[in-house]
Chain A
Amino acid sequence: MAKRKSSKKAQREPAISASSVPQTANPFAISWRWLASGLVVALLLIGAVLFLLRQREPTAPVAPVDMAEATAPTVAPTVASGHSRPNDAPPGIVDYCRRSPKFRDSEGFSTRSVLSTTERGVKGAIMIEIDANGQVTRNYQHPSWDDAGFLGHMVLDRGGNLYTFPAPYVSLIDNPPELQNIIYHIDSATAEMTRFYTVTAPALPTPENPFGIMGLVYDCDTESLYASSVAGSTRAATLGQIVRIDLDSRAVRFRYEGVDAFGLGIYITPSTDAMVTGKRLYYGLARAPEIYSIGLDEAGDLLDDVRLEITLPDPTLKARRLIFARDGKLEIRSRAFDFNLIATSERAETVYYYTFDPATQRWQLVPA
């Protein structure tokens, strides 16, 4: 049967090729054409496979970090995205493009509404509207907003989408350790919260450390989302990381390893000193009362020029949030944190304000 089918095809072949292939064509030439076609198909297939692999990188597990091999200065820099900093962007800050979520309007909430993840007795996120006296007049919680348990802070992008992450509060019953390294996305239009990205950890969770993602910051210039994670770290081993996620491709483009960071911020330092000027990623350590910065290139990847910027006045506190205001003031929200659930239960914060002193090229504490 198979043989007969082949015969039929063979009989048709001249008719198909009659208009394009001379009858006298060299049979070897036809074979080479087929070989060339095969190679093209093969190359396309290889390309497709590589493309798929690249697209799926976020879900692929990553091996434990080899300290010696992890440093990769020879890897070619990431190609800059199509985004760039507009000329009229306000100086210093990088979240100038963020917009309010569309669901705020569609749900009928006014500009006096806020999204909160720290309302007492509320698991997850909630949108509340406040009157002129500061009283909550109404609230809204999409059914998906408590799916990830208690949440950390949120960041907005240019489309009004929100990004957030799980953050244990008092206990782990709603925030199991194996689900703490996930970034969530709240859609600007539908308000639905879905998993956006799972940051792969270099080690499994242990009873020593129930935490994962610790902070987020968004950069309008490069359409990047930076996330800090301490997942896998133990008292003896600092295995945390800061990753840069390209929001266009939803892929990690840079991984800064071996750092347990808490709050993140980005600021373009005003300076006449070429060594100081430039965009820098600031991060507060989860293990020490210190804030470091590291330079960012045009694509948003990290340069190897880390430096200590600030040591908090109270040695028991860690920088949980780093918020750069349009007036250049840095707000540091700090709290005691010892890799347990105490701090998350008390939610007592000490806020410091710093301003950058161009003369000394240092951040100066603003007296309370």
Chain B
Amino acid sequence: MSFSLRLGFLFVLSLLICTACSRATPTPLPTPTILPTATPVSATATPLVRTLRAPTAVVPTPASGLLAPRTPVSTLPEWQHYQDRLAMARQQPIPVLRLEADMSDEQVLAQDLALQDARVQTDLYVAAGGEALRNEIFGVYPVRAGDIISTTATCQPTACYRVEMYNFAYNLTTIALVDVQARQVVDVIRSMEMQPAIPLALRDLAVAIAINAPAVIEALGGKPAAEAALMASTKTTLSQTRCERSRHLCVAPTFISGERALWAIVDLTAGALVGVRWTTVGTVQGPVISEKQLQDEVVTQQYCDTVNSLARDGWQLDYVITSSDGLRVMNVNFASQPRFDSVAVVDWHVSYSTREDFGYSDAIGCPTFSQAVVVAFNGPTIEPITENGTSIGFALVQEFRSELWPQPCNYFYQNRYEFYSDGRFRPVMINLGRGCGNDGWYRPVLRIAFSGNQTLAAWTGADWQPWQTEQWQAPTNLVTTDGAQLRVTDGAGQGFYLVPGRGQFGDGGRGDNAYVYATLRHPERNEGDLDLITIGSCCEVHHEQGPEKFIDAPPEKIVDAQIVLWYVAQMQNDDQPGQQYCWVETVVENGLYVPQTFPCAAGPLLKPVN
């Protein structure tokens, strides 16, 4: 074999080996900067990577629940009687609803001594000389062994009592340990966010609210007897509320029906049914049902996972709560004609003018497994729109809240879609405070995808000038005498005028000062047909709110094309008394702190051409 042949043989052999290797296992790509954007490719893990599979946890799909409107049972005699007693108690020198039933002389004495103690009186009023808060003695019990500590060492079980008081306004339990023989309060313990066991009167009231609630009656197929209600009663420990979101006093009477149990969450702070849920465990020893859990389950199952439909006043539409784009309405028809493929609010940009680059880009959406930071606690509601007592349409309204609203740096947004029986449509974006300061600017990003091909024109002051290509427009006063800024029409001349908010809609709005953008729709790129992650930063004060990213370079033609219209209103909050806007304050009402809201609203009216 000649040298050249041998060399050639070696070369070919090496080449073959290399080729074979490269075919069998492709050379890995450099470290990817992002995860694969196609379907995951086949495994290339070497045997050196060992794997182990975690035990599979089977989580049963929760039974569907029902959220009640949560309106106080003001007509229920038991509730009204309780309110009367509370109102009388707040007029007393020591404004506390005392425990009266089945009390021994020593218990009464212990209660009196406790209420005279300055430490117990700490939380009876809003402030010194202010309005009385709602306080109630829930129990007076002999002290337990666990209560005997150094400060209470003198207590003997027969001589000392544990007086438990609940403050509804602060969700606060105050416990006074009282030595009735020495006639002194030996210790006072305050426990925030904790609740003592409720007294018998409140237990009966909770049952009365439950058995008279339409949701309970409907679920059980008739009004249950009060005796049918089961309620765990613990006299030994404090517990956290079942209403962890509202921080109200809530309990859960339970009704057994065959192998199922119906849980009814009752809000004793507000006097309302929160909702009901079946469990299939056959006993009441099943999962703990709470306000948040019930709300999250219902919203997720019925409004995030399910597309609902609505037909009313000549309109037909679908709607769904999205992961991050709020309540999206889709396939919107009027008079059987397609009008909008989808409408949604994809971002809320919040900036604070006195702090550079300080703010947030809030996404609103589903409560779990979502990209939302402000979430839905309940599904949408449908409200009639009336004018002079006559119905002229309806509104589809969806609320999104931060968990701790109305506390500072928490937010409350509304999507409100108004459908009028004459074909007008107005998507409204509402903020109810409170934000992180009184220098806040809110810029919601509204996306409207029209059905079919359209041509857009802007009013120049003299005539309608078509937009040939994608572009944006700064806030302008160039509107027709009817207030129209833009016109979007199809080939037959049918369509809508866009009338920006300038404070004329009677909803408190002070003008939208909106940037508008028209872009060519690209479903294949997901420019909003599906959920969009945050598209703009919090704090841009100019047109760079996100939609400008969808204007191509060079801008695409949008004449007789599928157009997406973006509308970014600008609202500045205000906390000055009498001028509050995009704001919320907390006031005391019947001994409770309740939010007083000052909404700000923005959104264009889409008024049919012809």
**A residues in contact (CB < 8 Å) with B:** 6, 9-10, 13, 27, 30-31, 34, 37-38, 41-42, 45-46, 49, 52-54, 56-65, 67, 70-73, 75-78, 121, 170-173, 176-179, 181, 195, 198, 200-205, 207-210, 231, 234-235, 238, 251-259, 287, 301-302, 304, 306, 314-316, 336, 338-342, 344-346
Q: How far is the CA of A153 from the CA of B316 in the complex (A)?
A: 49
9 nearest CB pairs, A to B: A207-B323, A63-B43, A259-B54, A60-B44, A341-B373, A171-B361, A173-B534, A56-B28, A178-B34
Assuming the contacts A61-B41, A316-B292, asked whether A171 and B360 have C-beta atoms less than 8 A apart, the reply is yes
Within 8 Å of chain A (Cβ to Cβ): is B324?
yes
Identify B44's interface contact among A45, A61, A73, A306, CB under 8 A.
A61
B36 engages A63 (CB within 8 Å): no
**Nearest chain A CB to B57 CB, angstrom units:** 7
Q: What chain A residues lie within 8 Å of B3 (beta carbons)?
A: 9-10, 13
Within 8 Å of chain A (Cβ to Cβ): is B49?
yes
Interface of B is mostly: loop
Total A-B contacts with CB atoms under 8 angstroms apart? 234
**Nearest chain B CB to A255 CB, angstrom units:** 5
Within 8 Å of chain A (Cβ to Cβ): is B47?
yes
Q: What chain B residues lie within 8 Å of A207 (beta carbons)?
A: 322-324, 370-371, 530-531, 533
Apart from A71-B51, A200-B35, A204-B40, 8 more pairs, CB < 8 Å: A57-B48, A171-B360, A181-B35, A238-B54, A254-B49, A304-B52, A336-B403, A341-B372
B48 engages A257 (CB within 8 Å): no
Of the stretches B14-22, B77-85, B218-226, B249-257, the one at the interface is: B14-22
Q: What chain A residues lie within 8 Å of B18 (beta carbons)?
A: 45, 49
Within 8 Å of chain A (Cβ to Cβ): is B30?
yes
Q: What chain A residues lie within 8 Å of B390 (beta carbons)?
A: none
Q: What chain A residues lie within 8 Å of B324 (beta carbons)?
A: 207
Q: What chain B residues lie within 8 Å of A42 (beta carbons)?
A: 13-14, 17
Q: What chain B residues lie within 8 Å of A205 (beta carbons)?
A: 35
B53 engages A67 (CB within 8 Å): yes
Identify A342's interface contact among B54, B55, B402, CB under 8 A.
B402
Show 7 A/B contacts (Cβ-Cβ < 8 Å), sorted by A. Answer: A6-B2, A56-B28, A78-B48, A178-B34, A181-B35, A231-B35, A340-B367
A235 engages B368 (CB within 8 Å): yes
Q: What chain B residues lie within 8 Å of A71 (beta carbons)?
A: 51-53
Q: How far is the CA of A340 from the CA of B1 in the complex (A)?
A: 72
B4 engages A10 (CB within 8 Å): yes
**Nearest chain A CB to B225 CB, angstrom units:** 31
**Nearest chain A CB to B69 CB, angstrom units:** 24
Identify A9's interface contact among B4, B288, B535, CB under 8 A.
B4
Identify B46's interface contact among A9, A57, A316, CB under 8 A.
A57
Bin the interface of chain B by size.
35 or more
Q: How far is the CA of A339 from the CA of B300 in the complex (A)?
A: 13
A338 engages B367 (CB within 8 Å): yes
Q: How far is the CA of A12 from the CA of B520 in the complex (A)?
A: 73
B53 engages A173 (CB within 8 Å): no
Q: What chain A residues lie within 8 Å of B292 (beta carbons)?
A: 316
B371 engages A256 (CB within 8 Å): no
Identify B49's interface contact among A49, A77, A252, A304, CB under 8 A.
A252
Identify A201's interface contact among B9, B35, B240, CB under 8 A.
B35
Q: Name which of A27, A209, A341, A346 has the most chain B CB atoms within 10 A of its CB.
A: A341
Assuming the contacts A203-B40, A208-B369, asked whether A34 and B51 have C-beta atoms less than 8 A apart, the reply is no
As a 0/1 sequence over residues 25 to 39 of chain B, the CB contacts with chain A under 8 angstroms (1 = contact) are 101111111111101
A208 engages B360 (CB within 8 Å): no
B48 engages A41 (CB within 8 Å): no
Q: What chain A residues lie within 8 Å of B375 (beta carbons)?
A: 340, 342
B46 engages A54 (CB within 8 Å): yes
Within 8 Å of chain A (Cβ to Cβ): is B363?
yes
Identify B296's interface contact among A253, A314, A338, CB under 8 A.
A338
As a 0/1 sequence over residues 354 to 394 of chain B, the CB contacts with chain A under 8 angstroms (1 = contact) are 00001011110111111111110000000000000000000
